[in-house]
Structure 1
Amino acid sequence: MTIQWTDQHDFQALLKRSEIEGKPVLLDLYSPECPGCRSHDRNIYSDPSIARDIMAHTLPVRVPTTDPDRASTDIINNHIYIWSPTIQLLAPDQTRYHEWNGAPRRTRLSVGYESVFHDTPGHLTGESFKAQFLVARGKEALRKKKFGKAIRLFDEAIARHRKDRVTVEEATRWRKVAQNGGVTESTWDRHHQVTTSPLAAAVERFAQTVATLPDSVLMQDWIGRPGAGDWQWYSDCLREIVLQTYQELCTFAVAAERERTKHGPQFNDTHRLLGQHRFAYREFQSLFVGVPDALLDKTPLRSERSIRENLAHVVLAEWWAYRPQILHALDRGRKGLPPQVVAATDTVALHGEPPGSHESLQELFALYERLHLRNTQDFSQITDNELGIRSAWWELGPVELRFRLQRYIWHLRDHAVSIDKILDASGHRRTANHRFASRLFSGLGTAEAALIGADGFLADRVEHLTITINERADEAARLLGQISDTNPTQR
């Protein structure tokens, strides 16, 4: 048995066949110049049992990525997303059931490209391909609500490939969802924290508790202490308490900027840029207030990626793309050396392969929090003069580090829009309390931005603000408890 590959020119016809026959499309982005691709031909696709399973359960298509014609380019545009695995299992609408971990990763050139960079050869073997093929088919069955079939495939993946940690973790997670009839447990809420600093944790806890409350209590008499000073006149209901907290965070930012101007450490342009990114980052998190994990994998928009794929991409781009390119350019610039692209193989050697994206929403955000804070700390060492250092990447010529950091900011904004669009298309309804809770994350970003490059600055004021917000979170939790006692359906 050999694999009968369809080529790129028949891709659209293959998608129609997929819809009619109920078989997914196995997409292989291929080049003979790619060592990982050649390895797949020798060690994976030549295996008769693998070829038989591919032909029995999928419609395989192979798309060339070197000197691509128009048909190939259209497919690459949809399926190489900065740095993507070369093997994907697709639904008829081109949304993805699965991307193979360990497959070669490659980067699409965005401006007039003639080929695709074959960045990393990958480490996929015949056994790991088989393991993930079972998981991929299980995820297909799960999306089609064939829960019994999904459970059998996940069980088979676990039983046959016990030593494959990623496969076992992913199969176990999705098996639980299939066993629950497709219901996914929500994991980022008032019971699951993702932030790490005391101030951020207090804001997150308060925001997530507010988001859990029904809108009917927004104007209800507040059960906690009134605010200090003039705030006493604006502390009569939940709505005012949330807005008070937001304003206190912004007022702290004003005070911090004033104190830094007087006494240092002084702001520089790098700190301001990273402050903009921190604000964008916290607003990005606020999009997910009240969002259940079940929406992570919804694909309401044809050919577009899911929320999970967008979130995983943002994490990958910031840590495995922006970070190595920025730090490498900084190091070379300080040594008086010309700009040079960091090979992706070097990035993998330093950071390891990007993780799978099957984790829960709480786990994905907890990972992002750690990586984001590390980037902020390391980038904050860049001086204003060093912002003029040239950085080489995929562009046709090097750009300044200043521009690279600006792109770092609006890349996150770009994907925030994509996720907001998916949430809207999924029919997700944000309550008024969700929206008020989101403003707390905006306030947090404003306050944190004022402290970039000044670790430990105004520690006493930060601690006082943290205590105040934690007290309000306690009061909101008490209100929620009263509502739950009165109405058990709110539990």
Structure 2
Amino acid sequence: MNTLFNSIQDFTKFALEMTDADLEREWVWKDYDEEGFRFAFFRTLEDLLTLEAFQSHRRKKALSQTQHILAGYHLAFRDLQASLLGIDPAEYERVPAEGEWSLRKVYTHIVEADLLFHVAIKNGLNDHRLRDGKLSKMTEEIWEEVSGTNDAEVDAILAGPIEAALDYHETVHARTLSMLADISDEELEKTTLYWEKEAMTLRFRLHRFESHMRQHTIQMDKTLEMLDLHPNEIKRLLRLIYNGLARAENAMMGINESSLKAVNKYKKNIEDRTAELRGLFEK
């Protein structure tokens, strides 16, 4: 299925082919004829924000507490993705200074943590839903059963190209949003076991998705600075667009995206704009 994310990916792929100087190329939208290609980035952002506002207003059912928590996590996830746009494979491996982590090591840690958080929460839910509330610690068997994978498979993916790791993380993240969204308000206060000495609530564990990811996105940004890989204007603009994408996606949480006519309208706007810009760029 061609999703809103796919449309933004196509726009992003084109944008990363440009330099900041290309933002000055002529592009006209209605009476706006002085901003050039740069204005197309803001029109794309505005399409996403319009979709967010429209769909939020039309929701028949408000987001649950769990969905609100997961929406914050999704904002963090898209921001992390944006921070990694256009990373050169060689730079992905570089250690910026003694005692610091490479971009690969930071990102590998984030993906592995997301997997572990998901399994810990799902196992805790199973304790309460299927095992009469008797808490169980995570074992290798539980890890493989709940995650649907094993250490060797995960290690192989994360040791490969960054593109493979990003695609895998997208799949893991989407599964988390789908499989954990039905946690009730009452269940949020249920306790679960993981590595800590004491049991912690599901509410705490869900919030850890976002807070842990924010923590290491900051580490990622610091590493990029230490590697002298400062974001140019295009990457800064794309980071805004990824924030708008997450907001639009959050407004559609729990709804089949393909059933929403408004999504198709704004997807087409973005796809047509990408094609128009590419045509002008290649002249």
**SS state at 1:300 partner:** coil
Distance in 1 between the 2:133 and 2:110 partners? 30
| More strand per residue | 1
State the partner residue of 1:442.
243
Distance in 2 between the 1:330 and 1:445 partners? 27
Cα deviation for residue 197 of structure 1 reads 5.0
Distance in 2 between the 1:458 and 1:421 partners? 41
Distance in 2 between the 1:445 and 1:351 partners? 27
Q: Is the 8 A contact 1:219 1:237 kept in 2?
A: yes
State the partner residue of 2:167.
366
Q: In the TM superposition, what are the counterparts of 1:16-415 in structure 2 within 5 Å? A: 197-222=2-27, 226=29, 232-233=31-32, 236-260=35-59, 263-264=60-61, 266-319=62-115, 321-335=116-130, 336-348=132-144, 350-353=148-151, 354-356=154-156, 357-415=158-216
TM-score of the two chains, using structure 1 as the length reference: 0.53
Amino acid at match of 1:322: F
Amino acid at match of 2:12: A
Cα deviation for residue 457 of structure 1 reads 7.4
Calculate the aligned-residue CA RMSD, in Å.
Answer: 2.0
Q: Is the 8 A contact 2:27 2:33 kept in 1?
A: no
**Per the alignment, do residues 236 and 299 of structure 1 end up closer, same or farther by CA in structure 2, a change over 3 Å counting?**
closer
**SS state at 2:282 partner:** helix
Distance in 1 between the 2:44 and 2:248 partners? 11
Cα deviation for residue 236 of structure 1 reads 4.8
Distance in 1 between the 2:46 and 2:269 partners? 13
Amino acid at match of 2:44: T
Q: Is the 8 A contact 1:234 1:241 kept in 2?
A: no
Equivalent of 2:232 in 428, 431, 440: 431
Per mean C-alpha deviation after superposition, the further-off stretch among 291-300 and 333-342 is 333-342
Amino acid at match of 2:46: Q
Q: Is the 8 A contact 2:26 2:33 kept in 1?
A: no
- The structure, 1 or 2, with the larger RCO (C-alpha pairs under 8 Å, 6+ apart) is 2
Cα deviation for residue 298 of structure 1 reads 0.3
Cα deviation for residue 234 of structure 1 reads 7.5
**Per the alignment, do residues 446 and 368 of structure 1 end up closer, same or farther by CA in structure 2, a change over 3 Å counting?**
same
Amino acid at match of 1:338: K
The count of residues paired between Structure 1 and Structure 2 equals: 277
Distance in 2 between the 1:197 and 1:275 partners? 21
Cα deviation for residue 380 of structure 1 reads 1.0
Deviation per residue, 1:407-464 (Å, 9 max, x gap): 1111111111111111111111321112112211111111111122222476111111
TM-score of the two chains, using structure 2 as the length reference: 0.90
Q: Is the 8 A contact 1:217 1:238 kept in 2?
A: yes
Amino acid at match of 1:271: Q
Q: Gapped runs of 5+ residues in structure 2? A: none
Q: Which has the larger radius of gyration?
A: 1
